Amino acid sequence: METLEFIIYPDGRVQEKVTGIVGASCAEVTAAIEAQLGQVLSQETTSEYYAQTVQQSNGVTTHATFSEW
């Protein structure tokens, strides 16, 4: 599940935390919001940023052989 969490501090700073999005696509998801919030002072990437999606193929190939003795 994708989650965006915002903490707004009394001095106007906003902390944004993104979870559930694998890879760098989180930057695409948050770009428009960050543009409206103002200047980004710092960013920290999480382990999800460096994770890669795994696509598994379940293809099975069978070969039937027989011997005519």
Q: Give the HSE-up count for residue 47: Cα atoms under 13 Å, Cβ half-sphere.
A: 0
By the 8 A CB rule, do 45 and 23 touch? no
pLDDT of 10: 95
Q: Give the HSE-up count for residue 14: Cα atoms under 13 Å, Cβ half-sphere.
A: 13
In the predicted model, is pLDDT for residue 62 greater than 90? Answer: no
pLDDT of 67: 65
Residue 30's nearest CA partner among 44, 20, 16 is 16
Measured distance CA(18)–CA(69) in Å, rounded: 66
Q: In the predicted model, what is the mean pLDDT of residues 56-62?
A: 62
pLDDT top residue among 21 and 58: 21
Segment 7-41, tens digit of pLDDT = 999 998 899 898 888 888 888 888 888 899 888 88
pLDDT top residue among 32 and 52: 32
